[in-house]
Homo-oligomer: A and B are copies of this chain.
Amino acid sequence: VAEDAARGPRSGFPGRLREAVRTKNSRVCVGLDPVLDRLPAEVVQASVQRHGDSLLAVAMAYLEFGKGIIDAVSHLAAAVKPQSAFFEACGPAGLFVLKELIDYAALKGVLTIEDAKRGDISSTAEAYAQGHLGATRLPGGGAEPAFAPDALTVNPYLGRDGLAPFVRVCEEHGKGVFVLVRTSNPSAGDLQDLVVSEGGLPVYLRVAAMVAEISRGLEDPDGYTPVGAVVGATYPEQARAARQILPSSWFLVPGYGAQGAGAADVLPCFDAGGYGAIVSSSRGIIYAHQTPWAREKGLSWQAAAAAAADKMREEINRALAGRDDRSARSPSQCT
């Protein structure tokens, strides 16, 4: 408790995220989605030479690549977002690498969002929450973090009792979650856009209301709670509607770049001060070395990633600076 008091209110996840956005002047989140085919050939070859033609070689190539990307973007990105699926696809060794990359990013001063989209019933959600955001109990009575990202993405399909343990652990450990509200994929609307008879709102706004309810009273001095929302950049109107219901949630906004959204599309996600959202791009940044302009300039894969992240950072900042004041909102105006 004394330790918590010493850390102060800014030590919670929304405060740390705000501070990262401010000091780096960046709303960029770099997604770490390693895919074997697209990795720099020399990284894969070096790993195969050491580890043979194996899943371990793939996992260790992902480690080298991930560390290289983190090195390249740590001053340009508010956060990095490793996608668990690609690491799980390498088996247990991939999970070692995921954990290592999360710890490496922390060492380099970058916040980490583990994109694992976990969700289960209450007792099981508790194990996910402790394992990914808190600490797992040891036989001797102590506890140890299993994975230690700053935040985790979470799936709401199981309802409030599946979300509550995550919120509790966030509060206790100064961590954050981003609940899937409106995702960026083409068939996101299959479920999320179904209009509910009672109240006439689509499902995704009912989820937004659920997120607002479970995080009520957890606002920090800046008006934000540890319970954020995933809201796809590819659907700006839905983002605007979600913003109305969720004035106190940070938005994690995927879909920028490779999925088709641009800087103008993400503006409804931000508050009047330019905070409240971070925009995620994966392939557009980490595989920038494969684009014609990077090849033309002869950029290394790390230099290309840094250039792409910086370009995205400036695009968003420029759009924010130039936006119509009427479209701006602040948390206090909405609550």
Binding site for B on A (CB under 8 A): 33, 35-37, 44-45, 47-48, 53-55, 57-58, 61, 83, 85-86, 88-96, 98-99, 117-125, 127-128, 130-132, 136-140, 142, 144, 146-147, 155-162, 180, 183-192, 194-198, 200, 203, 206-207, 210
Report the Cα distance A96→B200, complex, angstroms: 47
**7 pairs of A and B residues whose beta carbons are closest in the complex:** A159-B190, A89-B131, A159-B187, A91-B146, A121-B185, A53-B140, A85-B127
Report the Cα distance A6→B31, complex, angstroms: 43
Task: Flag if A124 contacts B200 (CB, 8 Å).
Answer: no
Task: Flag if B158 contacts A55 (CB, 8 Å).
Answer: no
Report the Cα distance A184→B183, complex, angstroms: 25
Closest beta carbon of chain B to A125's beta carbon, Å: 8
Which of chain B's residues have a CB closer than 8 A to the CB of A44? 139
Task: Flag if B139 contacts A53 (CB, 8 Å).
Answer: yes
Which of chain B's residues have a CB closer than 8 A to the CB of A131? 85, 88-91, 94
A61, A92, A206 — which one has the most chain B CB atoms within 10 A of its CB? A92
Report the Cα distance A159→B270, complex, angstroms: 27
Report the Cα distance A118→B203, complex, angstroms: 20
What would 6 more interface pairs be, CB under 8 Å, given A92-B95, A159-B192, A191-B206? Answer: A83-B127, A90-B136, A156-B157, A160-B187, A194-B203, A195-B197
Given A54-B144, A127-B86, verify A159-B188 contact (CB < 8 Å): yes
Q: Which listed residue, B48, B85, B190, B203, touches A191 by the CB 8 Å rule?
A: B203
The count of identical subunits is: 2
Report the Cα distance A157→B194, complex, angstroms: 12
Least CB separation from A126: chain B residue: B85
Which of chain B's residues have a CB closer than 8 A to the CB of A194? 196-198, 203, 206
Least CB separation from A41: chain B residue: B139
Which of chain B's residues have a CB closer than 8 A to the CB of A203? 191, 194, 203
Given A95-B95, A158-B183, verify A85-B55 contact (CB < 8 Å): no
A83, A88, A94 — which one has the most chain B CB atoms within 10 A of its CB? A88
14 A–B contacts, CB within 8 A, in A order: A33-B124, A48-B140, A54-B138, A88-B131, A89-B131, A91-B136, A92-B93, A92-B99, A157-B183, A158-B185, A158-B188, A160-B190, A161-B186, A190-B210
